[in-house]
Amino acid sequence: MPRPADSALPKAAFERLSEFRYQMRRFERFSERAVRSHGITAL
């Protein structure tokens, strides 16, 4: 469902959310590598 133009996310908020999502993906990759290196199967 599209959002009305007047409730669009400000650029600064969008950038913060983008950075947060990037850091979450980095953490996920780190975690997957860590469990694999210990012989544990990541879910």
Specify the pTM. Answer: 0.69
Q: What is the pLDDT of residue 20?
A: 98
Pairwise CA distance, residues 35 & 43, whole Å: 10
Q: What is the pLDDT of residue 32?
A: 92
Pairwise CA distance, residues 40 & 33, whole Å: 10
Q: What is the pLDDT of residue 42?
A: 66
**Per-residue b or e along 1-14, where b marks 16 or more CB atoms closer than 10 Å to that residue's CB:** eeeeeeeeeeeeee
Report pLDDT digits (tens) over 1-43. 566 666 789 999 999 999 999 999 999 999 999 999 999 986 6
| Residue extents of the structural domains in the chain | 11-43
Q: What is the pLDDT of residue 17?
A: 98
